[in-house]
Structure 1
Amino acid sequence: MKIRASNKLLNIIFAINAAVILILDQLTKYIINNLPQSVFPIEVIPNFFYIIRITNTGAAFGLFQNRTKIFIIISIIAIILIIVLKIKMNLKIVLYNIGLGFVLGGALGNLVDRITREGEVTDFLHVVFFAVFNVADSFIVIGFGIIILVILKNFFKKGAV
């Protein structure tokens, strides 16, 4: 079932989602960064999920370390593209706007870190055999997942978005 809404409501949903994700991301990073290093790792699910604290000056999986200016520029471009995509596509599908808000909130969360923490992003969620990540990263992935599902559903239903 596709839920449609007015442009005003969709803009509110988009903005609130982005703001909530940004606040949640920054709040969790604030808490993690103010805990003494001696409490880490915190075992949440034995042998599977831990809370640790690392800083990352690169991209996903620690790639391209110490390229702060490039990542700030890329983040700003991505944020602008998200907003342009929101305006130009003007999809009146609630889930699409939720997903786009998640991606924007996550992008803003990591950008705030890069600007205020000398290029470092705090990562703290560690699933064994996977990269360490944060709330912003999680919602970027979840948001893109939602967007892809909405687009695919519409593509297969109508033959085009």
Structure 2
Amino acid sequence: MCPLPLTSWKPPMKKLRISNAALLALVLSTSVGCDQVTKIVAREHLEGVGRLSYLGDTFRLVLIENHGAFLGMGSEMPAGLRTAIFVGVVSLALIAFLVWIMRTPGLSKFSVVAAGLVIGGGIGNVIDRVLFEGGVTDFLNLGIGTLRTGIFNVADVWIMLGAAMMLVSRDTWAPDKAEGSEEDGPPESRDDAERALQT
């Protein structure tokens, strides 16, 4: 019997898997890091410059310190109340959201990325409020003529992008618990383990 040539044998290929926890950590670190780096650059290079316009004034760079929420909402509130809401309440909400994501089985990678963007954006803005006396560094503006967005930052982009992704993800609100979490393994593996214990 002639042995098979060595060239016909191929080593088994393992599918690269990343746990939801590792993926979430990657998204959080990337989103927060990118947000903070862009804010550092903006504060260093846009301070006292005024407004810079690009692409026929469609894209503007203008540095402000926003003491309110999105579009400056709540900026007229007393400083103590702003801190309690925008740092205290928001931080608790982000922690609760993070715990929910970590404890919910069956979430797709898409939903984990979406949640990571929302949480990462929130963390980025909370960091600003802690470091800069309740203010958030905003410097981006888009629009045509008088029809323009408010001035925002990269953290706001992550929050809006993540929220939009969550809205279109079918398992954000109803995760498939039948699939189980990645730590539990596939259903076949769990069934085999149960049968082994019974015998």
TM-score normalised by the chain length of structure 1: 0.84
Please list, as runs of the form range in 1=range in 2, the aligned pairs for 1:46-61 lying within 5 A after superposition: 46-61=56-71
Count, aligned residues = 150
**Do the aligned residues in 2 keep the contact of 1:58 with 1:68 (CA within 8 Å)?**
no
Segments of 5+ residues of structure 2 without an aligned counterpart are: 1-15, 175-199
Give the structure, 1 or 2, with the largest relative contact order (CA under 8 Å, sep 6 or more).
1
**Do the aligned residues in 1 keep the contact of 2:129 with 2:136 (CA within 8 Å)?**
yes
Q: Distance in 1 between matches of 2:117 and 2:54?
A: 25
> Alignment partner of 1:151: what SS?
coil
Q: After TM superposition, where is structure 1 displaced by more than 6 Å over at least 4 residues in a row?
A: 152-155
> Alignment partner of 1:132: what SS?
coil
Larger Rg: 2
- 2:114 corresponds to: 99
Q: Distance in 2 between matches of 1:138 and 1:36?
A: 20
**Larger fraction in helix:** 1
- 2:130 corresponds to: 115
TM-score normalised by the chain length of structure 2: 0.69
Cα RMSD, aligned residues only: 2.1
- 1:27 corresponds to: 37
Percent of paired sites with the same residue:
27
Among 86, 101, 105, the residue aligned to 1:86: 101
CA 57–153 in structure 1, closer or farther in 2 if over 3 Å, else same: closer
- 1:73 corresponds to: 88
Shift of 1:139: 0.2
